[in-house]
Structures are given as structure tokens and as C-alpha cells.
Amino acid sequence: MSTADLANLSDKLMLTTVVLYIVAMVAYAADLGFGRRRAAVVAERAEAKVLVGAGGAGTATDDASTAATTTTTAAEAAADGGDSERPQVDWANLAVVLNVLGWGAHLGVLVTRGLAANRWPWGNMYEFLTAIAFAAVTAYLVVMFRYKARFLGAFVMVAAAIALGVANIWLYDSVGPVSPALNSYWIAIHVTAAIIATGAFTVAGAATVLYLVKDRAESRGGAAEGGVLSRLPSTEALDRLSMRVTMFAFPIWTAAIIMGAIWADQAWGRYWGWDPKEVWSFITWVIYAAYLHARATAGWKGRKAAVLSLIAFAALMFNFFGVNYIFSGLHSYA
């Protein structure tokens, strides 16, 4: 295939990815909102059938059981939307399948873009944001299978779809060579590490936001039984999940900063020059380090730790968007 064909295929795969992520988001939301309720209805129906089958025939008790079962079946039918025999959609499996298909198309976007440009496909803001969204979805899939955290799916899909939308609408750049400063093998090391860490931090941020929402609702008595929030894990589990993902991402972010300093020495003759991107990368590192340190030594957990985690994530986002468009410096090539 020619360069133009590969670039065109990459653009088409991008559209496919966005559509699949949006549909997966809807399926995740449906699973979160209705999946467990329907599972409970099915379980209750099965139990009612067992009870009816266990009774004898020709007694007053049988008549009462039959009447009770009829009433229960009617209630179940109403809960199922009026048709108790209608096949139910398995929203959970549908969401995961769509998510994985979207992930495959997303991988295709990066591969075809890289082949078309004949370089690593994160040489500009469009490619970098696309790669970060891919890293976030990859991190979510790993967390989902490792910690059974399917409840994060809808929120990560929202973030990924928005990121890809921003990349296509405002940041799109045609396939072409990178600036001389990026023409180095270090882009495969330093930038890749930054992408992986940012994707993982995004998943941790989603878990932190869910923790704060549920914690606030519980403190006000708003997490009612049967509501969406009641279907989320406990606040303690959300807190632990956020910490675990952050603990994974933090060393990678640290390595990205160190490798960036080595690359800077090769490119500009100094390891550190207080460039805006360098400063905000370090600020982000300090806040995440403070978050992990406070948890390990001062026993911080819960709301205080969550707020600090969100401040760190806000610094990370500012480092990506704000520094690149507000300040000028050696990293302004993006």
C-alpha cells in the first residue's frame, strides 16, 4: 500500500474506533444501570419455580403457592419491561466485545499511521493524544480483567471518545516528517513511557472521581439501594484501586522524566533547563510522589488522598494541554 492509502486507512480506522467506543460506552452504562437488576429478577424467577415444583398437588397450599407465583411472575414481567420471556441483552459481554474491537481498531490507527509516516506515530499533538487514549483503554482492559473492574468501562470510554474527538476536530495533522528535535530513537523510549504513564493515570483518575462521587452520596445518604451508585464497589475498594494503578504509573512517569533529561542533553547540551514542559512534568511528579508518600507514611486515605490525586491529575492534564498552547519553549514543536 502507498503512503496515501495507509494514511487514508488510518483515518477510516479512527472513525471506526470512535463509533465502537461510543457504542461500548452505552453498553457499559446499560450494564451498570440494568445488568444486576435483571440478574436478580432471573434468580428470583428460578427460585420461585423451584418452590412451586417442590409443592404437592391438590391442596389449598398449592392454590396459595400458584397465586403467589402468578403475582411474582407479573411483577417480574413488569420489571423486565412487560415481557418475562423476552431474551435479555447481555450488556456486560456486549460492552467488553465492542471495547476489544474498538481497541483493535485503535491499534490499527497507530500502526497504519506509523507505517504511512515511516516513524513512531507520536510526533505531533494529534498522534500523541491518540496514543494516550489508546494507552488509557489498554490500561482499563488490563485493570478490568485483573481486578474485575468493569464498572470503570463507561467512564473510560467517555474519556477515550472525547480525546479522539478533540484529536480529530482540533488537532488533526496530515502525515509528515517530525521536527528535527524529535528525529531520534529516544522518541520510542521517552515519549512511549510518558504515554503509558498518562494512560494509567487516566484510569486512576476515573476511579478517584467515582470514589468521590460515591463517598459524597453516602455521606448525604444518597447511595440508595438499587441505585447506580449502589452497584459500584465500596468506597474502600475504589480508593485501593486508584492507589494501585497510580503505583504502577508513577515509576514509569519517573523513568520518562529521567530519559527526557538524557535526551535533552543529547539534543540541547544540558540535562535540565527549566523549560515549561520540564517544570510541569516535575510538578506533576512531585504531587503524585506526595500522594503516594502521604498514603504510605501519614496513613492518608479516603477523601484527602483522593483530592490530592485529582490535583496531580489536573497538573498532568495542564502539562499536556496548557503548557503546549500557553507557554513557549523548546517543547513547543507540538
**What pLDDT is recorded for position 66?**
43
Look at residue 131 and tell me whether its pLDDT is greater than 80. yes
**What pLDDT is recorded for position 226?**
56
pLDDT digits (tens, 9 = 90+) for 104-118: 999 999 999 999 999
3-state secondary structure the chain: CCHHHHHHHHHHHHHHHHHHHHHHHHHHHHHHHHHHHHHHHHHHHHHHHHHHHHCCCCCHHHHHHHHHHHHHHHHHHHHCCCCCCCCCCCHHHHHHHHHHHHHHHHHHHHHHHHHHHCCCCCCCHHHHHHHHHHHHHHHHHHHHHHHCCHHHHHHHHHHHHHHHHHHHHCCCCCCCCCCHHHCCHHHHCHHHHHHHHHHHHHHHHHHHHHHHHHHHHHHCCCCCCCCCHHHCCCHHHHHHHHHHHHHHHHHHHHHHHHHHHHHHHHHHCCCCCCCHHHHHHHHHHHHHHHHHHHHHHCCCCCHHHHHHHHHHHHHHHHHHHHHHHHCCCCCCCC
**What pLDDT is recorded for position 329?**
62
Give me the percent of the chain exceeding a pLDDT of 90: 58
pLDDT digits (tens, 9 = 90+) for 302-333: 899 999 999 999 999 999 888 877 766 666 65
Q: Report pTM.
A: 0.84
Give me the percent of the chain exceeding a pLDDT of 70: 80
Look at residue 136 and tell me whether its pLDDT is greater than 80. yes
Of the listed ranges 140-154, 165-179, 210-224, the least confidently predicted one is 210-224
Look at residue 58 and tell me whether its pLDDT is greater than 50. no
- Delimit the domains of the chain by residue range: 1-123+151-177, 179-334
Of the listed ranges 36-50, 144-158, 182-196, 240-254, the least confidently predicted one is 36-50
**What pLDDT is recorded for position 68?**
43
Look at residue 257 and tell me whether its pLDDT is greater than 60. yes
Look at residue 156 and tell me whether its pLDDT is greater than 60. yes
pLDDT digits (tens, 9 = 90+) for 269-308: 888 888 888 999 999 999 999 999 999 887 888 899 999 9
